Structure 1
Amino acid sequence: MKHISILIPHGHSSVVNIEGSHQIMNEVNNIRSKMGKPALFKVQLVGIAKEASQRNGLFIISPDVMIEDVKKTDLILIPAVHGDPKKVMQDNAAFVPWILEQYNNGAEVATMCIASFFLAGTGLLDGKQCATHWSAANTFRALFPGVNLVDDKIMTEDDGIYTSGGAYSFTNLLVYIIEKYAGRDVAIMIAKSFMIDIDRISQSPFIIFQGQKAHDDEQIRKAQEYIEQNFDDKITVDQLASMLALGRRNMERRFKKATSNTVVEYIQRVKIEAAKKNLENSRKNINEVMYEVGYSDTKAFRTIFKRITGLSPVEYRTKYNKETVMMA
């Protein structure tokens, strides 16, 4: 039997992550029982205090055991904890030696959404792939440059460490882990029972690109604003460099450092974000939308759109256009 530790952190934790994980992992045992098989998981809530207050006292979570009571575990699930990452780390520092010890003794570790910040603070993610909520990607990169963040992914697996992307994508991660531990047949039953899209791997369709302006480079910010105000025009790197009275290479270097995107990538993402809004809210056909955001090459537009969103323009419209959804 595998021991699963669901951590109960101090601070504003995701109760959904905690209860959802507890319910789904225990359901594996119920499914196996119906198959005439023994229970696979022993699931426990593991804490560093006898009670953890959540949502200003709206919920009180009482762990089953304290970390000192768990000498050996097989999988540690870390729920999202909201707030300043440094304070989250300080408030939950008592977990760190135990997590490191368990990992070094063979346990696997999985984070949910922004719990990746906490795990990165332990050093366990250094040099590894990692996912987090797409809206926190730039903050994460700034704090943990040694981690290979792949912000378009719903989940990652690297050397016994799993991470999941935004919000409810933790359910996709749990199904993935269940398939590894219990087999595809049980994973499919779990996916059907909880109506989880078993093979979804990308959070790209859900990303809302808002520009990365949390930096101090005023000239680069001006370039960003110019792109966002003139995305329907043909904008070149040389044009922007000339406008800012900067050398091209210097501007490209500073732009990448400030925004985590090249100039061309930023222009593409601004155009595609405008196209997404058009596809969500209008009856315009794909070519009309394409021309309005400054593309004239249909193949190029479709290729870039799919690379950024994970869907073709037609698929995106079908999924998110209000009228299309209501008619489905």
Structure 2
Amino acid sequence: MKNLAILIPENHSNLSSVILAYEVFTKANEYHGEVFSIKLVSNSRKTVLHKGLFTIHPDVLLTDKPKADLILIPALDEHVNKTLKHNNPLIEWVTAKYKQGAEVASLCTGAFLLAAAGILNGKQCSTHWQAAEVFRAMFPELELKTEKIITDEQGVYTTGGALSSMNLILYLVEKYYNRQTAIFCAKFFEIDLSRSSQSPFTIFTGQKNHEDAAIKAVQEYMENNLSEKISMKELAAAFNIDRRNFDRRFKKATMNTPAEYLQRIKIEAAKKSLETTRKNINEVMYDIGYNDVKAFRLLFKKITGLSPLDYRNRYNKDAELS
């Protein structure tokens, strides 16, 4: 029998991802026959969560030298830096086990712990789209792919945010048990096996957590003039920024080139319009300054993973089909 270790980082775990992982693998064992001995592993005898509302008592401590063939790292709460500082023993244990041949999987923002361990170096990874800006700031050398629901490289797995973690759990059930068991668990827990992208769920809010006042002013100008055709050369000149330095400063501040940023805010505005109005696709397109239907559809699908019509049909129940 293999050993599954579900980590419980001290004080800053997400209870739901621990419970969901435990329940799905327990159900897989019941349906298929035991593949894993499932243990909750921590460096503390009791972990208090959600301001004292819940506590978790692990099965084994690191001092018990638990075995692990597969390690699951749950989502972390919003205090990522504190979590990493308080959990060096867990990070060291995960690193050692991975070097010894264990596979490791992070759920949602659990990717921060994997990144801190150095295990994601040279690999693609995913995490919750809302945590992407912080993740890139902390680990700029890593290749973050927030559009992906699942990444799988060299025995290391990551997933997108929140309940998309369930898709990774089923992916691991299929790998370690079989397809039939994964389908049974998907049906039992009512999980959509077909989801392959986090993009339709992403909300682009614009990266303004920086100190470059001129670039913030440029961002605000873009956001207030979505229907206009904006020349980056003229924009740089208008804000007295040397054209050569404009792209560099903009990307340093926002992690996007000016052109990428403009595309993202335009598509975000289009998404909101598709969600809340009865405008047809062409009207939405014109409102954000596009007049080439093919180009608009291609860009919309590249960013969201859906066509404009599919997006509207998914998120606007009152919209008339067109």
Query: Does TM, normalized by the shorter one, top 0.5?
Result: yes
CA, structure 1 residues 324+65, in 2 after alignment: closer, same or farther (shift >3 Å)?
Answer: farther
Question: How many equivalent residue pairs?
Answer: 321
CA deviation after TM superposition for structure 1 residue 324, in Å: 5.0
CA distance in 1, matches of 2:92, 2:265: 43
User: Does structure 2 conserve the Cα–Cα contact (< 8 Å) formed by 1:155 and 1:201?
Assistant: yes
User: Does structure 2 conserve the Cα–Cα contact (< 8 Å) formed by 1:212 and 1:259?
Assistant: yes
- SS of 1:43's partner is strand
User: Is 1:234 aligned with 2:191?
Assistant: no
CA distance in 1, matches of 2:160, 2:197: 9
- Give the alignment's Cα RMSD to 1 decimal: 1.5
CA deviation after TM superposition for structure 1 residue 211, in Å: 0.5
2:7 alignment partner AA: L
- SS of 1:99's partner is helix
User: Does structure 2 conserve the Cα–Cα contact (< 8 Å) formed by 1:275 and 1:289?
Assistant: yes
Residue of structure 1 in register with 2:110 after alignment: 115
Within a 5 Å distance, the mapping from 1:165-314 to structure 2 comes to 165-314=160-309
1:27 alignment partner AA: K
Deviating above 4 A after TM superposition, structure 1's stretches of 4 or more consecutive aligned residues are none
- SS of 1:4's partner is strand
- SS of 2:285's partner is helix
Residue of structure 2 in register with 1:99 after alignment: 94
1:24 alignment partner AA: V
User: Does structure 1 conserve the Cα–Cα contact (< 8 Å) formed by 2:207 and 2:254?
Assistant: yes
Q: Determine which of 112, 121, 125 is the counterpart of 1:126.
A: 121
User: Does structure 2 conserve the Cα–Cα contact (< 8 Å) formed by 1:11 and 1:81?
Assistant: no
CA deviation after TM superposition for structure 1 residue 199, in Å: 2.6
CA deviation after TM superposition for structure 1 residue 322, in Å: 3.8
CA distance in 2, matches of 1:146, 1:264: 22
- SS of 1:13's partner is coil
Residue of structure 2 in register with 1:35 after alignment: none
Residue of structure 1 in register with 2:10 after alignment: 10
CA deviation after TM superposition for structure 1 residue 86, in Å: 2.4
Residue of structure 1 in register with 2:52 after alignment: 57
CA distance in 2, matches of 1:150, 1:224: 23
CA distance in 2, matches of 1:311, 1:138: 23
CA deviation after TM superposition for structure 1 residue 71, in Å: 4.0
TM-score (norm 2): 0.96
Residue of structure 2 in register with 1:40 after alignment: 35
CA deviation after TM superposition for structure 1 residue 246, in Å: 2.2
CA distance in 2, matches of 1:137, 1:186: 33
- SS of 2:318's partner is helix
TM-score (norm 1): 0.94
CA deviation after TM superposition for structure 1 residue 72, in Å: 2.4
User: Does structure 2 conserve the Cα–Cα contact (< 8 Å) formed by 1:172 and 1:198?
Assistant: yes
CA distance in 2, matches of 1:83, 1:287: 40
The percentage of aligned residue pairs carrying the same residue is: 50
CA distance in 2, matches of 1:67, 1:75: 15
CA distance in 1, matches of 2:34, 2:319: 44
CA distance in 1, matches of 2:199, 2:91: 31
CA distance in 2, matches of 1:165, 1:70: 30
Residue of structure 1 in register with 2:19 after alignment: 19
CA distance in 1, matches of 2:136, 2:152: 18
CA distance in 2, matches of 1:2, 1:249: 57
CA distance in 1, matches of 2:67, 2:244: 53
User: Does structure 2 conserve the Cα–Cα contact (< 8 Å) formed by 1:154 and 1:201?
Assistant: yes
Q: Which runs of 5+ in 1 are unaligned?
A: 33-37
CA deviation after TM superposition for structure 1 residue 301, in Å: 0.6
